[in-house]
């Protein structure tokens, strides 16, 4: 496996931000009541991760170790604020929904975790790929959870897609059940915890099956350490 393939696999599966590292749960649990919200927050987080990883990697030889954390915090805060303003300007409707969760990306520990454990020790190219796939791995979990909760809770998928993709996307909404009365638990916060729990359990089952098939399984820790 090439280095890049390893980074991709790490981000999407082996070291997935939401499934394995369990970071950034506050926005993850709060925003996933519909698929469109999940896509919006996922993309904003991915954009932030890519931008901060690239910047941190570029300055990794300039910044002294004793001031690296404040510098990372500064970079992340500036990038997120810029993204928030840009979203307010160009995706105003969606911004109104995701509003308070965009500033929360600053506090998403996965971003400073990637800056500290990966971007500050690797080349710009590697850091870019790491940011992109860590972000996409997070986005996929957001969308899965969003689909579960929206499907069960409202009986639709991709409702209000026009907020994200423009008026032409109104037709994207899929109605799963006609005249569905809704399942409140799925939309409320407990639904988020239960849903995430089920998804993590599913991932663990798949991991176990795959490990059982392989004669000499590679321990998860070795993969991430060899990269760092």
Partner 1 sequence: MHIVRNMTISAFLLGLFSITGTGVVAFTFEKTKQKIAENERAAMVASLHQLITPKEHDNDLYADVIQVSNEKLLGTDEPVNVYRARMKDKPVAAILNSVAPDGYSGNIYLLVAIRFDGTLAGVRVVKHKETPGLGDGIEIERSNWILGFNSKSLTNPPTGKWRVKRDGGVFDQMTGATITPRAVVKAVKNTLNYYQANKDMLFKTPANKDIQ
- Determine if 71 is a binding residue for partner 1 (CB under 8 A): yes
Q: CA triplet 112, 117, 121: central angle to 5 degrees?
A: 115
Among 58, 100, 176, 188, binds partner 1 (CB under 8 A): 188
CB-wise, 77 or 172, nearer to partner 1?
Answer: 77
Among 12, 63, 113, 143, binds partner 1 (CB under 8 A): 63
- Determine if 35 is a binding residue for partner 1 (CB under 8 A): no
What mask, x for binding partner 1 by CB under 8 A, covers residues 95 to 134? -x--------------------------------------
- Nearest Cα residue to 137 out of 54, 23, 226: 23
Residue at token pair 């809770």: 153
**Residues of span 143-172 touching partner 1 by CB under 8 A:** 153-154, 160
- Determine if 88 is a binding residue for partner 1 (CB under 8 A): yes
CB-wise, 26 or 74, nearer to partner 1?
Answer: 74
Structure tokens at 63: 């910044």
CB-wise, 10 or 84, nearer to partner 1?
Answer: 84
Among 21, 25, 81, 207, binds partner 1 (CB under 8 A): 81
Q: How far is the CB of 89 from partner 1 (least distance, A)?
A: 4
- Determine if 182 is a binding residue for partner 1 (CB under 8 A): yes
- Determine if 173 is a binding residue for partner 1 (CB under 8 A): no
CB-wise, 69 or 220, nearer to partner 1?
Answer: 69
- Is residue 36 within 8 A of residue 160, CB to CB? The reply is yes
Q: How far is the CB of 79 from partner 1 (least distance, A)?
A: 8
- Give one DSSP letter per residue of the chain, joined into a string: --HHHHHHHIIIIIT-TTTTS---HHHHHHHTTSHHHHHHHHHHHHHHHHHHHHHHHHTTTTS-GGGHHHHHHHHHHHHHHHHHHHHHHHSHHHHHHHTTHHHHGGG-HHHHHHHHHTGGGS-HHHHHHHHHHHHHHHHHHHHHHHHHHHHHHHSEESTTTHHHH-GGGGGG-EESSTT----HHHHSHHHHHHHHHHHHHHHHHHHHHHHHHSSSPPPHHHHHHHH-
Among 14, 22, 77, 200, binds partner 1 (CB under 8 A): 77
Q: CA triplet 164, 76, 120: central angle to 5 degrees?
A: 120
CB-wise, 67 or 198, nearer to partner 1?
Answer: 67
Binding site for partner 1 (CB under 8 A): 33, 62-64, 66-67, 70-71, 74-75, 77-79, 81-82, 85-86, 88-90, 92-93, 96, 153-154, 160, 182, 184, 187-188
């Amino acid at each position: 496996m090439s280095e890049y393939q390893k980074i991709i696999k790490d981000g999407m599966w082996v070291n997935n931000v939401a499934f394995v590292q369990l970071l950034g749960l506050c926005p993850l649990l709060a925003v996933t009541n519909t698929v469109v919200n999940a896509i919006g927050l996922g993309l904003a987080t991915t954009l932030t991760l890519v931008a901060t990883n690239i910047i941190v990697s570029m300055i990794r030889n300039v910044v002294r170790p004793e001031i690296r954390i404040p510098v990372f915090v500064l970079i992340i805060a500036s990038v997120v604020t810029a993204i928030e303003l840009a979203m307010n300007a160009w995706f105003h409707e969606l911004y109104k929904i995701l509003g308070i969760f965009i500033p929360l990306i600053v506090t998403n520990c996965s971003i400073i975790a990637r800056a500290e454990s990966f971007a500050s020790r690797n080349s710009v190219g590697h850091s870019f790929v790491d940011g992109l796939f860590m972000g996409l791995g997070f986005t996929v979990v957001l969308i899965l959870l969003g689909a579960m909760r929206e499907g069960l809770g409202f009986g639709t998928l991709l409702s209000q897609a026009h907020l994200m993709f423009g008026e032409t996307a109104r037709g994207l909404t899929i109605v799963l059940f006609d005249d569905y009365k809704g399942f409140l638990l799925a939309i409320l916060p407990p639904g988020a915890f239960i849903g995430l729990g089920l998804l993590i359990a599913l991932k663990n089952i798949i991991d176990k099956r795959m490990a059982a098939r392989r004669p000499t399984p590679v321990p998860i820790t070795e993969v991430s350490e060899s990269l760092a």
